[in-house]
Amino acid sequence: MIGAAAGAAGAALAGAHPAAADVTATAAARPAAPGVPPGTPPVLVTEQASKRLLLLDPRRRVWDPAADPAVVRWQFSPLGDPRYQDLRPDVSWVYPCEAKVRLHRKRTLVLTTASFGFVAAVEYPSGRRYWGTALGPGDDLFNPHSAELLPDGNVAVACSTGALVRVYAASLGPDAGRYAEDHLKGAHGLHWDRARRVLWALGDDELVAYAVGGTAARPALTRTSAVALPVAVPGRTAGGHDLFPVAGRPGRLWVTTNAGVLQYDKRTGGFVRDYAGHELVDRASVKAVGNDPRTGQVLSTVPEKGLEQTWWTTQVTVHRPTAAYTLVKGGIYKARWWLPR
């Protein structure tokens, strides 16, 4: 996902929402919109039109931050934030394309990347920098597309245009630059598997498992296995895109390709479409997918025609039951349930 510079960004607000506690309390006091299951978690989106990560109120089906700021429970942008100045966010934070929440030693971290070079692990809710780097800031020669936190505090990064997976020694400090790397064509997605202690990486044509060795200060990355992705049209690339754990089913991974939405069964080593709701969830060009184990809902994002960029959408689709969230004047790329793990 690349492109020309985006239109005028929204307000450059860094770190926590200026009234995060008040906003959450206000939102909690409101009744949920009809059809929203009790216990639905907040939704974290990469909002490229305003160059922000937004954590949004799941009780509202329409999110209009300009008219109702309370729909935003938290937001992040490194623009204008001195803690990220060395990463040149004015040129590296152009298209935020990943956001996922992780827990590490009693801290909540949001892993984020942007296509023009920005990568960071951001503490929630302070916005403080746990670690960050910029890969070729201002161009898409690397195109960092996903990141993942490892148990030792290091951070893995997948770069699609750069065709590589890196593990940075982020445990050494906020600007640690040492890394190990391996080549992976079209690297798009990453997931750390606690049970098997491997780093899964999704590329254009294969799902790869890596062993992460060495030490925290000097990591090593070794490919241990790979499985080819299903191809919808012979001779075409599968186009692996999103990789995410199936919540509540540790033996499975969500995998999206150009053609559809699959689950990978680690035990059998095969790709299946036997999950609940597959007849609606399984469709082409899905940029992000994930499920909430408590309510059974599945969310996903698919590009919407007529927006400034061909990969944007204003909607987060929900399945089981079928519904949608709409971000007014939005340019969403990915969406995730807020499920710290």
Q: Is residue 32 part of a domain?
A: no
Contact call for residues 285 and 239 (beta carbons, < 8 A) = no
Cα separation of 336 and 76, whole Å?
Answer: 15
Helix, strand counts (H, E) of the chain: 3, 25
Q: Is residue 13 part of a domain?
A: no
Cα separation of 12 and 50, whole Å?
Answer: 8
Q: Is residue 31 part of a domain?
A: no
Cis peptide bond upstream of 41, omega within 30: no
C-alpha torsion sign, points 115, 117, 123, 127: negative
| CB contact set of 159 (below 8 Å; sequence gap of 6+) | 135, 142, 143, 144, 145, 165, 166, 187
Cα separation of 90 and 49, whole Å?
Answer: 14
Q: How far is CA 52 from CA 70, 99, 114, 177, 215, in A?
A: 16, 10, 10, 25, 34
Cα separation of 341 and 333, whole Å?
Answer: 22
Cα separation of 62 and 73, whole Å?
Answer: 14
Query: Partners of 220 in the beta sheet?
Result: 213
pLDDT tens string, the chain, 341 residues long: the values are 433 233 333 333 333 433 233 344 344 557 888 889 999 999 999 999 999 999 999 999 999 999 999 999 999 999 999 999 999 999 999 999 999 999 999 999 999 999 999 999 999 999 999 999 999 999 999 999 999 999 999 999 999 999 999 999 999 999 999 999 999 999 999 999 999 999 999 999 999 999 999 999 999 999 999 999 999 888 899 999 999 999 999 999 999 999 999 999 999 999 999 999 999 999 999 999 999 999 999 999 999 999 999 999 999 999 999 999 999 999 999 999 999 99
Query: Partners of 206 in the beta sheet?
Result: 228
Q: Is residue 11 part of a domain?
A: no
| Count of structural domains, the chain | 1
Neighbouring CB atoms inside 10 A of 338's CB total 20
Residue 90 phi/psi, 5° resolution? -60, -25
Q: Is residue 33 part of a domain?
A: no
* CATH number of the domain encompassing residue 194: 2.40.128.630
Q: Is residue 160 part of a domain?
A: yes
Where in the sequence is the domain holding 133, given as residue range(s)?
43-337
Q: Is residue 284 part of a domain?
A: yes
Contact call for residues 207 and 227 (beta carbons, < 8 A) = yes
Contact call for residues 302 and 287 (beta carbons, < 8 A) = yes
Q: Is residue 178 part of a domain?
A: yes
Of 161, 11, 3, the residue nearest 79 (C-alpha): 11
